[in-house]
Amino acid sequence: MTPTTKPTLSVYWASSCGGCEIALANLHEKILDVDAHFTLFFCPCLLDTKKSDVEAVPDGSLDITLFNGAVRTSENEEMAHLLRRKSKILIATGACACGGGIPALANIQAPASFFETIYRQNPTIDNPGNVVPRPSTAVNEGTLAIPAFFDRVRTLAQTVDVDYIMPGCPPEPKQLWAVIELIVQGKPLPPKGSVIGAGQSSVCEECERKRSEDRKITRLFRTYELVPEPEKCLLEQGIVCMGPATRDGCGGLCPNVNMPCIGCYGPPAGIVDQGAKMAALLGSLMDIEPLKELDEEAIFKRTRGTVSTLPDVAGTFYKFSMAGSMLRQAASPREGGQAR
């Protein structure tokens, strides 16, 4: 299979859920424009193009590749290198490729514990031989091979050189289209390394809820614990809304329908670590006035009580950005890229 005269568009998913492909399908009738301007060359969820077809084209001959998903396995890594070599423009697409996404929350556990939980202790598994996946297994007929499982989930940019970053879980179709339209119309592309299909500020700028000047919170609530007031900032009501620590671009989808932002566009421009930004902000919002009269032990108990109302700190602050954060990996003893 060889590319035609139209520019080629390739779409690949590594460790991800498929939502980014759904975002492409959600372009609705604009998908016909995509078809009019591009030849879809490689897209495993839609086409039967094989890896060998990609290997067969000259290096740098694929025009645009949207790579979604984190790099969790040796197969993800191999495809990242292959598509980098073959593509003129490689775009890290979606939260998993950009920041590690949900798969990278696994970085806070030692990899051996996943296999223990999933293959040995899982009550629905019958595994008397204590078998866990291995990259290669000798059988009578030869050697069976599966991709190796890395110790650490990485972003695409931590694996290969990336031209652009397009965040979101998934990227909003209108943002995806804005990028495709730019290319279709032959307009100048932003400088290499730019974040595209998103804004520069935070979700709060797109949110319709009202913020007060003097906001203080005394405790945190999970979403099922209260029905939030419809017009007031969720954070001021004690619901952890990641809006201030999340890049704009979605239009404030979640807070505008009474749900807190959970951070899927990653940190705003200029913020290195989304979780650290949010933790600092929450600290500044806590109302410490009532604590001033208390002794040290009472303050400790009270603040610990407040923090304990946030049940999953990593999953709240780093739900989509763990691999790209300063933490990157909290529990595993080795750096990433090491196959088990």
Residue from 70, 245, 264, 322 binding ligand SF4 (CB under 6 A): 264
Q: Is the Cβ of residue 42 or residue 265 nearer to ligand SF4 in the bound state?
A: 265
* Site membership for ligand SF4, residue 74 (CB under 6 A): no
Residue 99's φ and ψ, nearest 5 degrees, are: -130, 0
Residue from 241, 245, 282, 322 binding ligand SF4 (CB under 6 A): 241
Residue from 254, 282, 322, 323 binding ligand SF4 (CB under 6 A): 254
Report the alpha-carbon distance of residue 99 to residue 227 in Å, rounded. Answer: 31
Tokens of 337: 């890229």
Region binding ligand SF4 by CB under 6 A among candidate stretches 15-23, 55-63, 64-72, 244-252:
244-252
Number of residues that bind ligand SF4 (CB under 6 A): 22
CA atoms within 13 A on the CB side of 221: 16
* Site membership for ligand SF4, residue 328 (CB under 6 A): no
Region binding ligand SF4 by CB under 6 A among candidate stretches 19-27, 215-223, 251-259, 323-331:
251-259
Nearest 5°: CA angle at 55, between 50 and 58? Answer: 130
Residue from 204, 245, 322, 327 binding ligand SF4 (CB under 6 A): 204
Partner residues linked to 90 by β-bridges: 65
CA atoms within 13 A on the CB side of 137: 8
Report the alpha-carbon distance of residue 195 to residue 163 in Å, rounded. Answer: 9
Q: Quick check: 177 and 149 in contact, CB under 8 A?
A: no
Distances in Å between the alpha carbon of 161 and those of 82, 83, 91?
12, 11, 10
* Site membership for ligand SF4, residue 233 (CB under 6 A): yes
Residue from 250, 278, 322, 323 binding ligand SF4 (CB under 6 A): 250
Site of interaction with ligand SF4 (CB under 6 A): 203-204, 207, 209, 211, 233-235, 241, 243-244, 246, 250, 252-255, 261-265
